């Protein structure tokens, strides 16, 4: 009876695979793979021209920036959703078949030996895939909001995705760590995203100039106070 049960599950898996191959998720996966191939081809052409393959460069006239053609999670997110959905479907079919098992031992064996582990792992894969796809969507929204600019306030990026600025700031920092935003930087006030080393160097130079002006102002103020004290002493 157990062998027949797993034979039924195997047949359902085959049907599920055929259904998924014709589903929108698989079509999305195919589109992502097509984009990957095109990006790789563009990368080889860019490398021949002396550029870095995994990136594309935008030059709006006041700074250059590099962004990833295919952000991390584009394909892996779709694959995780695909396999997670398949696993949950198989676990569900197995759970539905449990009442037809001949004994309690067989029921418990299938439940805790297959349904629970398969459902748990598949649920984790599905949730992880959804999170990755959402992050990719936010990444594209950020770049769309910036256009060809090399800097943008975090508040504007937050408005573009409908999230709090605190969430977006944390999101941007993670994307920078994952190299999704190469040459990405956050200013000292944690209010602006900068893309491109040239823009970041200009920001650092402006910060240095501001600190020097503040130091000169403080020095002049101290000199004035010292002179006033000396004058009063006379």
pLDDT digits (tens, 9 = 90+) for 170-221: 999 999 999 888 889 999 889 999 988 888 888 888 888 888 888 888 877 7
pLDDT tens per residue, range 21-77 = 554 545 555 555 555 445 444 444 444 444 444 444 444 433 455 666 678 888 889
Looking at residues 160-179, what average pLDDT do you find? 94
The answer to whether position 192 is within a domain reads no
The answer to whether 190 touches 176, Cβ cutoff 8 Å, is no
Domain presence at residue 130 = yes
Q: Is residue 126 very low, low, confident or very high in pLDDT (cuts 50, 70, 90)?
A: very high
Is 228 inside any structural domain?
Answer: no
Whole-number mean pLDDT of the chain?
76
User: For residue 164, what pLDDT is reported?
Assistant: 95
232, part of any domain:
no
Query: Which of 107, 44, 35, 18 lies closest to 74, judged by CA?
Result: 35
Q: 134 with 171: CB under 8 angstroms?
A: no
Give residue for tokens 């306030």: 153
pLDDT on residue 62: 39
Res. 83: pLDDT tops 60 = yes
Q: DSSP assignment, residue 50?
A: T
Q: Distance between CA atoms of 149 and 1, rounded to whole angstroms?
A: 66
- Tell me: pLDDT of 227 over 50: yes
**Does residue 224 lie in a domain region?**
no
Q: Rounded to whole angstroms, how far apart are CA atoms 11 and 19?
A: 13
127: containing domain? 2-146
Domain for residue 81, yes or no?
yes
pLDDT of residue 29: 53
Q: Tell me if residue 23 falls in helix, strand or coil.
A: coil
Q: How far apart are the first and last CA of the chain?
A: 110
In a domain, 20, yes or no: yes
pLDDT at residue 117 greater than cutoff 90: yes
In this predicted structure, the answer to whether residue 113 has a pLDDT above a threshold of 70 is yes
Number of domains the chain contains: 1
pLDDT computed for residue 191 by the predictor: 92
Asked, for residue 95, whether it belongs to a domain, the answer is yes
């Amino acid at each position: 009876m157990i062998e027949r049960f797993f034979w039924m599950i195997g047949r359902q898996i085959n049907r599920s695979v055929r259904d998924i191959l014709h589903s929108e998720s698989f079509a999305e996966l195919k589109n992502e793979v097509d984009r990957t191939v095109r990006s790789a081809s563009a990368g080889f052409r860019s490398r021949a021209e002396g550029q870095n393959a995994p990136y594309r460069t935008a030059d709006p006239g006041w700074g250059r920036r590099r962004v990833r053609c295919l952000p991390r999670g584009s394909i892996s997110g779709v694959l995780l959703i695909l396999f997670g959905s398949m696993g949950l479907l198989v676990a569900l079919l197995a759970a539905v078949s449990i009442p037809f098992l001949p004994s309690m031992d067989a029921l418990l064996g299938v439940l805790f030996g297959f349904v629970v582990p398969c459902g748990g792992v598949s649920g984790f894969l599905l949730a992880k895939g959804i999170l990755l796809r959402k992050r990719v969507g936010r990444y594209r929204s950020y770049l769309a909001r910036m256009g060809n600019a090399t800097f943008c306030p975090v508040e504007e990026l937050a408005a573009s995705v409908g999230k709090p600025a605190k969430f977006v700031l944390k999101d941007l920092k993670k994307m920078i760590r994952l190299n999704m935003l190469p040459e990405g930087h956050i200013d000292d006030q944690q209010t602006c995203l900068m893309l491109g080393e040239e823009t970041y160097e200009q920001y650092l130079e402006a910060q240095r100039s501001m600190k020097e002006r503040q130091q000169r102002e403080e020095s002049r103020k101290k000199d004035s106070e010292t002179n006033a004290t000396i004058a009063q002493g006379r």
